[in-house]
């Protein structure tokens, strides 16, 4: 239990920074939405003149930025990327902090089993994920109430946040798996960042008809905002697929960590 509380406290500054950044991003985004809807006709006309490539980069394909669902859908892509980066780096850092700070022997020679230590670390990581997720949904709700009309959007907001939670868990488990398997303390964070932005790049490419088959390879495209808005739900096949993938990553990470040479 001491390890659990230590992990929570040692990352509180980072969590605070991520939470403030997320809250500011969501709030400023809704302030901009209020500005866009002052003259909806002119805004729509302006957006129609934008090249398709630019629309794809900002996740605007298939979305009407003048409506609240469409605008929030555009913002959701960047919210999801931020949550994914945080989750992946958190998962990897849980297992690499001791090698980086050269405190491995101090921690793992304590009268505790390796599984007990790992269990406490993972539990602290899940709590951090939940706190940032909760702050994201709370600030989203309050910002929409302040600068838009929440009526009819509550259900969609919950669906968006459910997708965000799945993305978080998947990248968190990936970070744990990479950190447990890698012999380098610096490599896992690079692989996590590469995985997130590669997934974003694949999502952009798969927006075109020619490469639409690539959408299954991107977690961001699997939970595409346009699909969520049109169906008001998540596609079950993707929910199950990424739940299984996260479970596999986590199981592999635990298996690797319990068997690895901590001095290597």
How far apart are the C-alpha atoms of 187 and 143, rounded to whole Å?
Answer: 38
Half-sphere exposure of residue 150: CA atoms within 13 angstroms, side-chain side: 11
Q: How far is CA 11 from CA 8, 131, 235, in A?
A: 6, 12, 34
Quick one: pLDDT band at residue 4, thresholds 50, 70, 90?
A: confident
Is the model's pLDDT at 111 over the cut of 60?
no
170 falls within a domain: yes
Retrieve residue 175's tokens. 């970070």
32 falls within a domain: yes
185 falls within a domain: yes
204 falls within a domain: yes
Contacts of 219 (CB under 8 A, 6+ apart): 84, 166, 167, 170, 171, 199, 242
Percent of the chain with pLDDT over 90: 45
Q: Tell me: the pLDDT tens digits for 12-59? A: 999 999 999 999 999 999 988 887 777 666 666 766 666 666 766 666
Q: Tell me: the pLDDT tens digits for 168-192? A: 999 999 999 998 888 777 888 899 9
Q: What is the pLDDT of residue 252?
A: 93
124 falls within a domain: yes
Domains identified in the chain, total number: 1
264 falls within a domain: no
How far apart are the C-alpha atoms of 73 and 63, rounded to whole Å?
Answer: 7
Is the model's pLDDT at 105 over the cut of 80?
no
34 falls within a domain: yes
pTM: 0.88
How far apart are the C-alpha atoms of 174 and 197, rounded to whole Å?
Answer: 14
Domain range for 139 is 2-259
Look-up: residue for tokens 């590669």?
Answer: 198
- Of the candidates 87, 60, 67, which has an alpha carbon nearest to the alpha carbon of residue 224? 60
Q: Which of 95-99, 106-110, 137-141 has the highest mean pLDDT?
A: 137-141
Tell me what the mean pLDDT of segment 196-205 comes to: 89
Q: What is the pLDDT of residue 264?
A: 45
35 falls within a domain: yes
Quick one: pLDDT band at residue 249, thresholds 50, 70, 90?
A: very high
């Amino acid at each position: 239990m001491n390890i659990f509380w230590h992990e929570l406290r040692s990352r509180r500054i980072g969590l605070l920074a991520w939470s403030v950044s997320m809250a500011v991003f969501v709030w400023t985004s809704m302030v901009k939405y209020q500005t866009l809807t002052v003259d909806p006709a002119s805004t729509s006309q302006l957006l129609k003149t934008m090249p398709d490539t630019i629309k794809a980069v900002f996740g605007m394909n298939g979305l009407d930025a003048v409506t609240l669902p469409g605008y929030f859908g555009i913002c959701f892509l960047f919210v999801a990327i931020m949550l994914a980066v945080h989750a992946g780096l958190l998962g990897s850092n849980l297992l690499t902090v001791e090698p980086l700070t050269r405190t491995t022997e101090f921690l793992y020679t304590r009268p505790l089993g390796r599984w007990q230590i790992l269990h406490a670390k993972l539990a602290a990581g899940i709590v951090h994920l939940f706190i940032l997720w909760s702050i994201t949904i709370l600030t989203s709700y309050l910002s929409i109430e302040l600068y838009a009309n929440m009526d009819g959007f509550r259900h969609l907001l919950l669906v968006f946040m459910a997708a965000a939670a799945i993305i978080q868990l998947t990248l968190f488990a990936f970070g744990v798996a990479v950190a447990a398997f890698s012999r380098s303390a610096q490599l896992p964070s690079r692989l996590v960042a590469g995985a997130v932005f590669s997934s974003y790049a694949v999502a952009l490419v798969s927006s075109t008809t020619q490469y639409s088959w690539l959408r299954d390879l991107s977690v961001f495209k699997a939970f595409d905002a346009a699909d969520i808005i049109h169906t008001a739900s998540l596609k079950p096949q993707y929910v199950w697929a990424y739940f299984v993938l996260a479970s596999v990553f986590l199981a592999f990470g635990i298996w690797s960590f319990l068997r690895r040479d901590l001095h290597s």
